[in-house]
Structure 1
Amino acid sequence: MIGALNDHDLEVTKQCFAPDAVYVGPVGTAEGREQIGWYFEHLLEAFPDLQLTPWCKVPVCDPAVSAVSEYVMTGTHLGPFLLPGGAALKATGRRIAVRAAGMCTIENGLIISDREYYDQLELLSQLGLRVPEVVA
């Protein structure tokens, strides 16, 4: 899946998932290949040079989890990026390098569950957004 996503091949990326797979990320949940494909399509629109660089694959003791990896997500923000709440951040031209981790459950060679974790504050601050000051 990482290879297909790095090649920006949405059809191959979608085919890595079971028809009823579930993707859970910091911004929400996508259910089924089409919703998962929609999520990745928008991610690639926002970061057309997106690359995921795995740097650690963790041995898994839980037979229900088939793959755990840590990686760095890099890219240049050149298109609208969907924000929590449904708004879109216009292209900033900024580069990102965000550390992330993911856990996939695989059955019959297809991903049935993919849970991805990254620090949204780290990503949004790299895009130039700031946390509003709290007045006590």
Structure 2
Amino acid sequence: MVDKWKIKRGLADAINDHDLHRILDYFATDAVFVSPVGLAEGREQVGWIFEQFFKGFPDLHLNVWYEATESDDPMMVEWTGTGTHTGPFLLPDGRELQATGRRITLRGTCSSFVEHDRIATHREYYDQFELFSQLGLHLSSD
């Protein structure tokens, strides 16, 4: 029997190591990844999302501070992500925000469903407004 929490914790470690190959090994070939960034289907698209964050925040680090271990279907964790915006970061409208040097601290949660020893569905939730505000962006009436 597979230890689903070992998979979930391994994913967090791979993210903190910025090891894209290891990250993708945790996902099923046809995995679905849902986040404020959008919907990714399949490993290639999932990898692309992580690449965008690693480019913009080369020191990105997740600190998982709560695990809902009473259940493994789905596995739920809460985390805090920190990093420094020192590289280009893709915005929802397709523009790239060049490095601002600003530090971010972002709180979020995620849930993962594991099937056949791989993550089949992963959902990330965090406040994009909180992220963009810390990067110095503001709402516009334009």
Normalised by the length of structure 1, the TM-score is 0.91
Percentage of matched positions with identical amino acids: 50
Alpha-carbon separation, structure 2, partners of 1:125 and 1:106: 34
Match of 1:69 in 2: 77
* Counterpart pick for 1:26 among 24, 36, 42: 36
Structure 1 residue 12 corresponds to structure 2 residue 10: no
Match of 2:6 in 1: none
**Unpaired runs of at least 5, structure 2:** 1-10
Alpha-carbon separation, structure 2, partners of 1:132 and 1:33: 35
Normalised by the length of structure 2, the TM-score is 0.88
Give yes or no for contact 1:16–1:110 (8 Å, CA) kept in 2. Answer: yes
TM-fit CA distance, 1:38: 1.1
Structure 1 residue 105 corresponds to structure 2 residue 100: no
Match of 1:94 in 2: 102
Q: How does 1:104-123 map to 2 (within 5 A)?
A: 104-123=112-131
TM-fit CA distance, 1:102: 0.2
Give yes or no for contact 1:60–1:68 (8 Å, CA) kept in 2. Answer: no
Match of 2:54 in 1: 44
Pick the structure with more helix per residue: 2
TM-fit CA distance, 1:85: 1.8
User: How large is the Cα RMSD of the aligned pairs?
Assistant: 1.5
Give a deviation string over 1:40-68, Cα, whole Å, max 9, x none. 1111011000001001112455x7x3310
Return the letter of the residue paired with 1:94.
Answer: R
Structure 1 residue ranges, 4+ long, deviating more than 4 angstroms after superposition: none
Return the letter of the residue paired with 1:24.
Answer: V
Match of 2:91 in 1: 83
Give a deviation string over 1:2-57, Cα, whole Å, max 9, x none. 10010010000011100000100001011101111111111101100000100111
How many residue pairs get aligned? The number is: 132
